[in-house]
Amino acid sequence: MKIKRIALITPPYHSGVVESAGTWLNVGFVYIAGALRAAGYEVDYYDAMSLWHKWPDIQKRIEAFRPDVIATTAYTASIVDAVKLLKFAKAIDPRIVTVLGNVHAAFCYDEVLTHDHDAVDYIVRGEGEETLPMLCHCLNAGDDPKKVLGIAYWRDGGVVVTPKAPYIHDLDSLPTAWDLVEWPIYTYRAKKNARLAIVSSSRGCKSQCSFCSQQLFWSQSWRARSAENFVTELEMLHNVHGVQVAMLSDELPTFDRERWVRILDLMIEREVPVKLLMETRVDDIMRDADIMDKYREGGVEHIYVGVEAGTQETLDLFKKDTLVDQSKAAIDLINNADIVSETSFVLGMPDDTPESIEQTIELAKHYNPDMAFFLAIAPWPYAELYPELEPYVATKDYRKYNLVEPVIKPKNMTMEELERQLGRASQKFFMHKFQNLEKLTPWKQEFMLSVLDLLINHSYLAGQMKAMLKEGKEMPPEVKALLKTVKHHGASHPQTFAPIP
């Protein structure tokens, strides 16, 4: 069979985590689709996850496009559905060549191929823009896949692994396929359903966090697009596709200060009307204390910094390379620049107790981010920290490794107790925030009202938040009054709040 048509399909996995704020496109597929098209292949960019498509919908799309290759992507929580998708494709047409990529498959290829080699023909173990076209060229030529760098596959009762492919260094040269994106579905709820893009200005991570996958995937390397190339893309996305908000997928967008300042200067000079959401490190915010106003003027509206832990001991275990006091200082800098601040705390470690979680909640209040989320530790099976956590792993169901459902059983808590404590932590923190809403600037007040709507109506916390509102516990009169106001708040979608006592 000659390979001509390739479908890039996201697995239909949902956990209620990222969906609460909006609908997020797969920027990796934008690049891979561009590379495949430049190599002469016809491509279908099919975001089944974001479209909320069910299996009959997926079957119709596959049968309509008639792909020769189907490639999908999987982080740990979505690996089960990704493999199911490829099995589904084989059932539709056994001749379809199936390919799996992204971080879970890159490290757990042996496990995946040993158990599911009937569904997964090839695994791409790194960046796909060069590897996937090379694999397709190789198969079309009837050549030996061993010649393709950066893949793994099953042959003669065992796993074949080829040498690692080099990283792509000239990111400016990569073709994209933004025109294949089904733009109307990608919206950001917190800004009245503004059109949302996910963009990438750099790749890699120089950090050494022991619980994370990114420093392993990128081998602690970092490469970046030029400031001019990136800002020109943002202008194009706005002018051609109507993008109003862009989230940077980068782990460390601000790593090179000179380049980052150039990006902000270009955003200001060209008056690019795209607001930026981003993640960066505490120490980079500290470094940039003198230019936080430039962040805001350059369109940065929302910054996430990973605090992760409430004690220096746990921070050191996580190898965050930061101090507890620095986290508070960084969040203050973001707040003082009138930028939305967000952070998260990882809970559910073996030594956690209700008392330690309560201390973390109080610390979150002290840090005073606009948003704080309390996440269940997900022990990625390939992370440095995994051997230390493995004795406490209570489930090997990867679908639960979504940072919401507990996977680790603490020594002195049941899984049910931990789950209740995670929900309670969010309730207590956000009630504290809404009691102090008047301390925020007007635009942040408006933003936080939208956040409250999302928490109650669209997030994985919805059930717990509605129950709390219905009971009215721990809720002062001024917060009840606020919620009654929010019920009639002029958001861009209908409100379905629980009755206010």
Residues 163 and 145: their CA atoms lie apart, in Å, by 12
Q: What's the mean pLDDT in 453-460?
A: 74
Please tell me the predicted confidence (pLDDT) of residue 115: 94
Mean pLDDT, residues 37-53 taken together: 97
Report yes or no: 372 and 348 within 8 Å, Cβ to Cβ.
no
Q: Could you tell me how many helices (H) and strands (E) the chain has, helices first? A: 18, 16
The alpha carbons of the chain give a radius of gyration, in whole angstroms, of: 23
pTM (predicted TM-score): 0.87
- The pLDDT value recorded for residue 14 is 87
Lowest mean pLDDT among 174-178, 216-220, 373-377, 393-397: 216-220
Average pLDDT over residues 256-272: 97
Which of 116-120, 266-270, 434-438, 454-458 bottoms out in mean pLDDT, i.e. has the lowest? 454-458
For residue 328, pLDDT beyond 60: yes
Least confident among 98-112, 441-455, 464-478: 464-478
Which is more confident, 175 or 463? Answer: 175
How far apart CA 401 and CA 394 sit, in angstroms, is 11
pLDDT at 495: 29
Give me the residue label for tokens 């930028």.
339
Mean per-residue pLDDT for 276-295? 95
User: Which of 51-65, 202-216, 268-282 has the least mean pLDDT?
Assistant: 202-216
| Average pLDDT rounded to a whole number, residues 281-304 | 96
Question: How confident is the model at residue 496, as a pLDDT?
Answer: 27
Task: Give the mean model confidence (pLDDT) for residues 16-44.
Answer: 90
> Which pLDDT score is estimated for 499?
26
Model confidence band, residue 397 (pLDDT cutoffs 50, 70, 90):
very high
Instruction: Report the Cα–Cα distance between both ends of the chain, in Å, rounded.
Output: 66
- 61-101 pLDDT, tens digit each: 999 999 999 999 998 889 999 999 999 999 999 999 999 99
216 within 8 A of 107, measured Cβ to Cβ = yes
pLDDT at 485 over 70: no
Q: What is the mean pLDDT of residues 269-284?
A: 95
Q: pLDDT of 233-257, one tens digit each?
A: 999 999 999 999 999 999 889 999 9
H helix or E strand, kind and range, residue 449: helix 442-457
354 contacts 424 by C-beta, under 8 angstroms? no
- What is the predicted pLDDT for the residue at 327? 87
**Mean of pLDDT over the chain:** 86
> CA-CA distance, 251 to 469, in Å (whole number)?
36
- How high is the pLDDT of residue 493? 33
- Residue 494 pLDDT exceeds 90: no
**pLDDT the model gives residue 315:** 47
Tens-digit pLDDT profile for residues 144-176: 999 999 999 999 999 999 999 999 999 999 999
Give tens-digit pLDDT for 294-327: 999 999 999 999 775 555 555 444 444 555 678 8
Cα distance between residue 110 and residue 104, in whole Å: 11
| Residue from 304, 280, 308, 465 nearest 374 by CA | 308
Residues 302 and 340 sit within 8 Å (Cβ to Cβ): yes
The enclosing H or E element of 245 equals strand 245-248
30 contacts 176 by C-beta, under 8 angstroms: yes
* pLDDT above 70 for 483: no
Confidence check: pLDDT of 10 > 60: yes
Place of tokens 């008047």: 438
